[in-house]
C-alpha cells in the first residue's frame, strides 16, 4: 500500500502542522512514509525554493516563476517522490494545485500551459488524495508572518492576490480526490477530522490512530 497524499491551502492555513500530526499517526501504526515539501524536497529543489520564496528587490516574471517551480518539481519527483512511492506513503506539503492557485489564477498564463507542463514533465503524476486546509487568507497571512521572517515573498503580495488564491483552493471542493477541511478549528480537531476521513474512506487500508499534541 503506497499512497501519495498532498496537503494544500494558503500560507499559514496549518498544512505543515497537519502533515506532521498525520506523520505521527502513521508512525504509531508502524507505517513507512516520507514527509516532503514543494517547492523543495530535494537538494537542487531547495536551492530553487530560495529564489521563489525569499523577498528580493526585483520581481520574478510569471513564466520564469512557473518554470522554476517545474524545474524544482522535476528534481523532486525524480529523486524523491517516485523512488519513495515504490514502498512508502508520501506526504507532500503542496503540489500541483498550489501551482494552479498561485501561478495560474493570479496571472495571464493559460491553464492549458500548466496542463502541458505537467504532462510533459511529470507524466501527469497526481496525488491519490489532496487535503486542503481552508482558512480565511487574513488569518493565514497573520499566522504565517508570525512563523517565518525570511520566506515572505508571497505573503507580501496584495489582498487581491491572496483572495484569488484562497478562492481557488475553496473551489477545488468540486474535484474528485480533493477533500477540504475547516482550518479554523483547533489543530487537534482538524487532525481528528483528517484521520476520521482517512479511516472512513479506508484510504490507507489500515485504521490509523489520532496523535494529539497539547
Residues contributing to the site for ligand TYD (CB under 6 A)? 11-12, 16, 38-39, 52-53, 69, 93-94, 98-99, 102-103, 144, 154
Q: What is the DSSP letter of 122?
A: H
Q: Which does 199 bind (CB under 5 to 8 A by kind): ligand ADP, ligand TYD, none?
A: none
Phi, psi of 77 (to 5 degrees): -65, -50
Question: Which residue in the set 9, 39, 40, 41 belongs to the binding site for ligand ADP (CB under 6 A)?
Answer: 9
d(CA 105, CA 23): 31
List CB contacts of 88: < 8 A, sequence separation 6 or more: 2, 32, 33, 34
Binding status of residue 36 toward ligand ADP by CB under 6 A? no
Q: Report the site for ligand ADP in 106-145 (rule: CB under 6 A).
A: 143-144
Binding partner selected for residue 143 from ligand ADP, ligand TYD, none, CB under the kind-specific 5 to 8 Å limit: ligand ADP
Told to check if 190 binds ligand ADP by CB under 6 A, we report yes
Q: 68: which 3 cell numbers?
A: 522554476
Report CA-CA distances (Å) from 163 to 75, 126, 148.
30, 25, 21
Residue 186 binding ligand ADP, by CB under 6 A: yes
Q: Does 187 bind ligand ADP (CB under 6 A)?
A: yes
CB atoms within 10 A of CB 140: 24
Of the pair 88, 99, the CB lying nearest ligand TYD is at 99
Please give the residue whose beta carbon sits closest to ligand ADP in the complex.
Answer: 14
Amino acid at each position: 500500500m503506497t499512497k501519495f497524499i498532498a496537503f494544500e491551502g494558503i500560507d499559514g492555513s496549518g498544512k505543515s502542522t497537519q502533515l506532521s500530526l498525520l506523520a505521527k499517526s502513521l508512525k504509531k501504526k508502524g507505517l513507512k512514509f516520507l514527509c516532503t515539501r514543494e517547492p523543495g524536497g530535494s537538494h537542487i529543489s531547495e536551492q530553487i525554493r530560495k529564489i521563489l520564496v525569499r523577498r528580493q528587490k526585483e520581481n520574478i516574471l510569471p513564466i520564469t516563476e512557473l518554470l522554476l517551480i517545474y524545474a524544482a518539481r522535476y528534481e523532486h519527483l525524480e529523486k524523491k517522490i517516485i523512488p519513495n512511492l515504490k514502498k512508502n506513503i508520501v506526504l507532500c506539503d503542496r503540489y500541483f494545485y498550489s501551482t494552479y492557485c498561485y501561478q495560474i489564477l493570479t496571472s495571464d498564463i493559460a491553464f492549458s500551459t500548466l496542463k502541458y507542463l505537467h504532462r510533459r514533465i511529470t507524466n501527469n503524476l497526481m496525488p491519490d488524495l489532496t487535503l486542503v486546509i481552508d482558512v480565511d487568507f487574513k488569518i493565514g497571512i497573520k499566522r504565517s508572518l508570525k512563523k517565518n521572517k525570511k520566506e515572505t515573498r508571497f505573503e507580501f503580495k496584495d489582498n487581491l492576490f491572496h483572495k484569488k488564491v484562497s478562492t481557488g483552493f475553496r473551489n477545488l471542493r468540486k474535484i474528485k480526490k480533493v477533500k477540504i477541511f475547516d482550518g479554523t478549528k483547533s489543530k487537534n480537531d482538524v487532525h481528528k477530522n483528517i484521520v476520521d476521513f482517512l479511516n472512513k474512506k479506508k484510504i490507507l487500508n489500515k485504521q490509523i490512530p489520532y496523535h494529539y499534541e497539547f
